[in-house]
Amino acid sequence: MARPDASGRLSLRYLLRTLGWSPGDRVDHTVIDQAIVVTRSPTGRAVIGTRGDLMIPATARALAGLDPDGQVVLVAAPTQDTLVIHAEHSIAELIAAHYVEPDTVDDD
């Protein structure tokens, strides 16, 4: 979990090492439902900062429903060379939905 600063910047040094990403690498942001999918791309529109920080564009933050004062859940998927950013409230909704839905497994 992390809390973006007022400009949408996240410090991700540990996750960047996990992903094998470095300062200066270019990335793209794609909003899917309530998540921001960040992928490394040689033609990416954003750049990982020299201090291992990543800027989340304001448009992506708004489309994904990120609360300006809230935390985000970060999920690194090294085998897909991807970082997924979820709003804290969307993770709570997913967990609540999981436990509210009736069990669909047939034990017979």
Give residue-wise pLDDT tens across range 22-79: 999 999 999 998 899 999 999 999 999 999 999 999 999 999 999 888 899 999 999 9
Position 38 scores a pLDDT of 98
Position 85 scores a pLDDT of 96
Query: Which one-letter DSSP state was computed for residue 81?
Result: T
SS (H, E, C) 24-77: CCEEEEEEECCEEEEEECCCCCEECCCCCEEECCHHHHHHCCCCCCCCEEEEEE
